[in-house]
Structure 1
């Protein structure tokens, strides 16, 4: 992403009037911000800001145990949790992947933790962050329960100089896919 932003800067595409929105994986380490990232860059990331590690572990254990309980109620068995990656043991009677189906509709404490077939969470907790003038990521919004709430408007309806005439050429979309 830094290479793309360096190129964009060299072409004059990062100044006033340009808004860059990137996914969380592009921003990488939130503590080490590449110089090429322009002030005002927006990112959507999983809510680690207000989601401490202890709570994440608690939720993960809750999801797995709820799915295992549902599978046990329905089938009377669950995958063997004692298998080892280091041994050539015989094939388990119930494969660990059998639990996946029961993770599709998990709710805990009134919050939906369901997953889709492709492994993504149906309703993730996301935050919208912006790179401020002090070159720090600042939380400016949240996506939760299918609702986006922003602290302030991100991109104005009018052009960057505050004129009342609407800017008809205000959106360009560039995508970059980086596979692991």
Structure 2
């Protein structure tokens, strides 16, 4: 093992973040690479050199960065890993908001159908408490719902935000060091 392989391995582990080694190996196998969980482990430990073509595929197609991220300082890979997680989370958030809006529209359509004269079987059969809850959901925009959820999370997870603030101060120090260094 040489220092460069060890650095690449540490940075690959940092880019992988919380993704299981098996998941990374599966993604590489799906793309035609002969990777297993043991391959990921060996590369991350610096025991198996990473081929350039593998590095290009990993960084460009899986981690949405450039191959040099594997060569840089470990903190660069950690920052990139956080950026990757935010990007994935934003995509997931978009999907959730889309499902929320769709469910809202479906609820409104079903409530409209239940009051339609052509639907006598449904008319008057929806319990008042369901109508009240449905009205609340329909009156609330997705932005208002998200804001309420964020407020709830902030109030429940104060210690998490204190940790993030501490990390933010550490990042400020790192930025200052980079500017001066």
* TM-score > 0.5, shorter chain as reference: no
Which of structures 1 and 2 has the bigger CA Rg?
2
Which protein has the bigger helix share?
Answer: 2
The TM-score with structure 1 as length reference comes to 0.23
In terms of fraction of residues, the more strand-rich structure is 1
Normalised by the length of structure 2, the TM-score is 0.23
